[in-house]
Structure 1
């Protein structure tokens, strides 16, 4: 199936050439982005990568094929973007076409499929993740893809990009940290007190059902009132729009996964282990710290994973209320009908979410007690 889809993707526009950053471009097939002696090796490598995906019993071969195909895509992007811009005009832009995205998605699925069969251990997955990030950084640092329109958008907004990145990280990780400080003790208390649990979890569940844009809207008048009526609040940065309302909304969204998974993690301790701890004379707090928390840590980390990936995505909406982050570029691009400006905000968000999810999955597996892992 992957091989057939990949062959069909070869006939879709690989790159688009436009007169400027706003107008729609003309789709260019992959074999026409450069001279035949340039595109030929790339096409052969892509075809070979699809052929290598056919043997179902050879996942290592499939993984090698996927890596080969991705290298070929980068090669074709480098050569094609430079060739198409020659003589195309000062404001001409080369953007990624649907054919590239289809092929890239297929190759990523091939790699994921191969890794699922190989089932590497957490340390091996960590090495693969670090290697992938290092390769991506090397490609970006080399400037090999600077002729693409998305990198031209970045070049004209470099300072704003790093400011947006800092704000996005602050929204996602800062709200997670505050939610953890509040949610873990609240989860412990809810685990110990059934009445408190029956009150806290339904309230947090209700807050979780409020749409993100509506939650941001609710924060605006509340914080605007606080900023105008509480002495010194405005000087501290409390206002109806900006970073703070988005931050508080993300904290509220983060509480349910943290509290619920803390309760579930503490309840995951086997009764036999708890009975043995009592038999050893451990106090309630000793049982919590030495038995329940270590055994429930994987479940609690799974809650952190949910919150982190959720907040990275929701932080994009903060751009609508002046909260900053990568959402600023997304909404600017939508207003200007500039696709590559949208991608400048969307692609880092997706990459950050994927890296965070994989990293947290590795930590969850490492936290599993008494498990044998493949290295």
Structure 2
């Protein structure tokens, strides 16, 4: 019997006593909690309840990780089934402004089954190709679920329906902030890391400075950027012409680049330093020049550590880009802070949920790339 599985099962059963969904008079007021067995008629809700219970029980079998993985998927399907059945049932006969939302019980069960899935996958230890396939299946299933309209009665779906164009624009801006700052940091950080690796004196000066930048809180960093870029835009018309201003995209982008430099530079130094000395000596013995040794020996052997630095930066920046909404930087943070101002929880979720999903997908994809970059003997 799996010890984590026992903990997940007990937690899941306890969560079945919590409100699974909430019914509110409108999008702003607090909703009234509804138990999982009361969100829909028994005929509609029973399959979901059974799937949740069976999924929790399957998670107990430690010797069969594939069975545990199947239990996690079954439990997730049961929770979603119950959510889809509960939406129209709770809204039937309610006021036209009424809203239904997932409750604490649903979010708790979602966390339990995701953790159970992660524990089962850790036991299975699938290779990069298998992980990529599982990720594709998961994203495909999510796309089918959202496209089917089964969850269209939920309040967060209605928030999206009224802001679909703004959501697309926010998605593009969030991707530009996260991936654009990553690319810029890589262009600056890789050469700087190479110089730090070659020259110990420069490394002793640069790395402490970049470490200090990491200690500055994100809100303070964005705040520092505002007067600096405002002055720059007022002083240089050319800067103003290309869109640099005290608020908006530019300060958020520059702040994210500054936060990204330490992981990129530090991991570049660590990756190049991890190359075994005999490999470099052999390359010298073959008559390779320093640039040839860099591109043929040092970079290929240090690539996993370099990619690990990029993984840290990408996941970090996806999350930090939400804060950019405070200074007009756009992205999913605009929905989060609008929701906070309006006390509209589901509008907050419209920004928070895709941020979490994007960060998880980015982390998994980068982990796959790190594994693929390792020499076969060291994988």
TM bin, normalised by shorter chain, reads over 0.9
SS at match of 2:240: coil
The alpha carbon displacement at 1:29 in A equals 0.5
Q: Which moved more, 1:233-242 or 1:146-155?
A: 233-242
* Structure 2 residue 216 is the aligned partner of structure 1 residue 210: yes
Unaligned segments of structure 2, at least 5 residues:
1-6
**Cα deviations across residues 168-197 of structure 1 (Å, max 9, x unaligned)?**
000000000000001101111111111111
Q: What is residue 74 of structure 1 aligned with on the other side? A: 80
CA distance in 2, matches of 1:235, 1:326: 26
Q: What is residue 375 of structure 2 aligned with on the other side? A: 369
SS at match of 1:371: helix
Q: What is residue 180 of structure 2 aligned with on the other side? A: 174
The alpha carbon displacement at 1:140 in A equals 0.7
CA distance in 2, matches of 1:231, 1:10: 61
Q: What is residue 28 of structure 1 aligned with on the other side? A: 34
Q: How many residue pairs were aligned?
A: 373
Q: What is residue 16 of structure 2 aligned with on the other side? A: 10
> Which of 136, 146, 149 is the matching residue for 2:142?
136
CA distance in 2, matches of 1:258, 1:372: 22
**Cα deviations across residues 213-261 of structure 1 (Å, max 9, x unaligned)?**
0000000000000101112322211110000000000000001100110
* Structure 2 residue 171 is the aligned partner of structure 1 residue 165: yes
Q: What is residue 281 of structure 1 aligned with on the other side? A: 287
Unaligned segments of structure 1, at least 5 residues:
none
Q: What is residue 331 of structure 2 aligned with on the other side? A: 325
Q: What is residue 3 of structure 2 aligned with on the other side? A: none
* Structure 2 residue 263 is the aligned partner of structure 1 residue 257: yes
The alpha carbon displacement at 1:372 in A equals 7.3
SS at match of 1:17: strand
Q: Following TM superposition, where does structure 1 have runs of at least 4 consecutive aligned residues deviating by more than 3 angstroms? A: none
CA distance in 2, matches of 1:237, 1:206: 28
Matches for 1:191-210 after TM superposition, within 5 Å: 191-210=197-216
Q: Which moved more, 1:296-305 or 1:185-194?
A: 185-194
**Cα deviations across residues 109-147 of structure 1 (Å, max 9, x unaligned)?**
111110000111111001000110011011111111010
CA distance in 1, matches of 2:196, 2:341: 46
The alpha carbon displacement at 1:371 in A equals 3.4
